Structure 1
Amino acid sequence: MKARFLVVVLVLTTLILSACGQKEIENAVDWPIKDFTATKQDNKSFGLKDLKGKVWISDFIFTSCADVCPPMTSNLTKLQKMIKDEGLKNVELVSFSVDPGVDTPEVLTRYAEQFGVDFKNWTFVTGYSQEFIENFALKNYKALVKKPQEGNQVIHGTSLYLVDQEGHIKKSYDGYKDVPFDEIIQDMKTLQ
């Protein structure tokens, strides 16, 4: 009788403890991001080491974008406010320019200021070659970035990417329309 009671207690304890464990991110991936060297909007150097230990959201934008980038940046501005309102700490936003020949740090700063960006936890980066960002996006994010020979509009996706404290992409979300803000916040909390 005592042995049976102990088995029941052990099984119940295991179930309770497993229920208290960290929730998993639904449909998670595990894509490590290779180190990179870039220049921030304030002309300072920036790389993967600057994000170590932080949960971050990244996207790909450019300042002369005629269609998707302004709404994406506006959506990230809303997410930035939600992060602050939720009291989440050690969360960063990183926007990679896909048109680094045009998007100087000064141009990125002016662009971001139009959206009321708080630079305390949002970094806009440039300072690399067009070839670099096209390869970096494809190899790390599995995302297409391509600047055509003609015109000034760069082809790129509209996803937001959740990255963990070790620099591994965990999930992507639509960053243009129907942005799942609550899901992103919940997934950030899960990583913390």
Structure 2
Amino acid sequence: MNKWLQVSFVILTFALSGQAYTDDSKVSLPDDSIYHLDSEWVTQDEQTINIQSLSGKQQMVSLIYTHCMHTCPTIVATMQNIEKKLPQDVLDNTEFVLVSLTPASDTAKVLKDFAEKRKLNQDRWTLLTGDPQDIRSLAMALNIRYKKSDDNEVAHSNVFTLLDEQGRIVFQEVGDINKVDETVARIVSQ
């Protein structure tokens, strides 16, 4: 048998045996990990990242938009207060992610300006914008509901989600400044 046929035969046999090549990072993810979405995002620093790059630390995630005047500022303030109250050992394993619900207007530059105005520690906070379909898929995976209106406003769930190191939902909480201590206790007890 010539070399080409031998290689083809080996590949076909391997594929038929159900052991075809797969990406090792996906194989090690639990079935309920949001990192299976395998989506590409742009950060506030104009870097393109895959959502899987968030694995390894627990992530506190919320979907917001920067020109929101209602619930989004409360969500972000709540997350900032949680960040301030977490014990250092827990904080070292925790990052914060804000995903824009209005990617057409929330460019990387707009996200960067927002992070600077809000004094977000950019070593710990990642702001993401992306494709509307990826945003919808992420929202669905996190059970976040939202609906855009014609004036570029968005009615959306007022929650943030804590993900474990492998992208599984640990819990969700309403973005309420009065629940900071309760939420910190929940995070610490994990």
- TM-score, with length taken from structure 2: 0.75
3-state DSSP of counterpart to 2:138:
helix
Q: For residue 187 of structure 2, what is the aligned residue in structure 1? A: 188
Separation (CA, whole Å) in 1 of partners of 2:110 and 2:176 = 22
Q: Deviations over 1:139-192 (max 9, x none)?
A: x011112222x11201211101010011101110011353x223332333333x
Q: For residue 69 of structure 2, what is the aligned residue in structure 1? A: 66
8 Å Cα contact 1:95-1:124 kept in structure 2: yes
Separation (CA, whole Å) in 2 of partners of 1:107 and 1:183 = 32
Letter in 1 for 2:170: K
- 1:74 positional shift: 1.6
Q: For residue 32 of structure 1, what is the aligned residue in structure 2? A: 33
Separation (CA, whole Å) in 2 of partners of 1:132 and 1:125 = 11
Letter in 2 for 1:99: T
Residue in structure 2 matching 1:131, options 130, 133, 136:
133
8 Å Cα contact 1:68-1:176 kept in structure 2: no
Gaps of 5+ in 2: 1-30
8 Å Cα contact 2:41-2:131 kept in structure 1: no
Percentage of pairs with the same residue: 27
**Runs of 4+ residues deviating >3 angstroms:** none
Letter in 1 for 2:66: T
The residue correspondences of 1:1-192 to structure 2 (distance < 5 A) are 31-33=32-34, 34-83=37-86, 85-88=87-90, 89-126=92-129, 128-138=130-140, 140-148=141-149, 150-178=150-178, 180-191=179-190
8 Å Cα contact 1:58-1:161 kept in structure 2: yes
For these two proteins, the number of residue pairs brought into alignment is 157
Gaps of 5+ in 1: 1-29
- TM-score, with length taken from structure 1: 0.74
